[in-house]
Amino acid sequence: MINRITDHLLMSLHNEFGWGDPYDELDKMFGGDRETIIKMIDSGMLGYNGEQFGTDNLGSEWQRAAGYREYIAIPKIDFSESNCENYTEIIEACENDKPLPGKIFDLLGEYRLKEKDAYDQQGEIIIYNRCIRQVGKKIYKETSFGSEVTEDTIINYLYDIVLWHELGHWVTHWMTDSNLHRWNNQPKLFDEANTELLEGLAQCFTYYAMNHLKDDKEKECYMKVFESLLKDQPDCYHKHKEIIQCKVFTWKGLMKGIENLRTENDINKVSLEDLKKTISKYWQI
């Protein structure tokens, strides 16, 4: 199901704002004409299973009939059974009804650079299965979802939310914008000094993914899981509210605001406040 979750966010950003190139890897894989390859996908001659692209990975009949598109050029995503950072503290919180530790979004998952300060390369995502299962059980036990919602459903929703959050970091850093720019690769413009901005944007993309779900009941359930995970978290994980609740906020304005920050060379003009000022310039587009 990984490609369904990544596609929901990344293809939506591509279709609505012209961000990213879903087929960036096609030319490398086949060395052929892109238009022809895409026609082969639509006709069911080629498919993608989240790891490999070839004739033995055909999409389902309903996907092809609906013109379903997969975002091929995703970062490496590793679903790990290793213990995440602060694992003992997380388990203690789950077993003793205590608050979860801070930075829980980035303890359950992680977007990391392949090498130290390698900002000119895309990073990779790690999702920590064991911790997500335990936290999902805690959220299910402590939150009212209705009798028709199962524990497994909440755990799956938590997987999606954590993955969308980490994809939000990848989008902020690496996904090309409508002007084909990526984030400025100067480390000082993409480090812990900008935690408010970077976590705020990752949460915005998570919220965008949930808000664009078509099923209202499913959307409401995702939002409950998201809000449950936000409890007792540091202020930086709540900064999306300042952005989204702005009177002149639009999603297109947000994307234009990020595009402006990406090409700003003055570190003093790359902040959450600068982003909000820029968004206000684009509220009518």
Nearest CA-CA partner of 102 in 238, 198, 245 = 238
The pair of structure tokens assigned to 110 is: 């992680």
Q: Which of the residues in the chain have pLDDT under 70?
A: 1-3, 25-32, 44-69, 184-193, 283-285
Question: What amino acid occupies position 276?
Answer: K
* Residue 278 confidence (pLDDT): 84
Question: What tens digit of pLDDT does each residue of 64-79 get?
Answer: 433 446 787 888 999 9
Q: What is the DSSP letter of 24?
A: T
* Residue 5 confidence (pLDDT): 87
Give me the residue label for tokens 């297109």. Answer: 252
Cα distance between residue 277 and residue 16, in whole Å: 22
Q: How far is CA 40 from the centre of its chain?
A: 28
* Residue 74 confidence (pLDDT): 87
CA distances from 21 to 100, 178, 266 (A): 37, 10, 28
Q: What is the pTM of this model?
A: 0.88
Cα distance between residue 248 and residue 188, in whole Å: 29
* Angle at 139 (CA atoms; ends 138, 144), nearest 5 degrees: 125
* Residue 38 confidence (pLDDT): 73
Q: Where are the alpha helices (DSSP H) in the chain?
A: 2-17, 26-30, 34-43, 61-65, 87-95, 105-108, 129-142, 151-173, 195-211, 216-230, 239-244, 251-262, 272-281
Cα distance between residue 195 and residue 73, in whole Å: 26
Question: What tens digit of pLDDT does each residue of 19-77 get?
Answer: 998 877 666 666 657 777 777 777 766 665 444 555 544 444 434 433 446 787 888 99
Residues listed for the chain:
285
Cα distance between residue 37 and residue 26, in whole Å: 8
CA distances from 75 to 86, 122, 163, 199, 206 (A): 25, 7, 12, 19, 17
216 Cβ contact partners less than 8 Å away, ≥ 6 residues apart: none
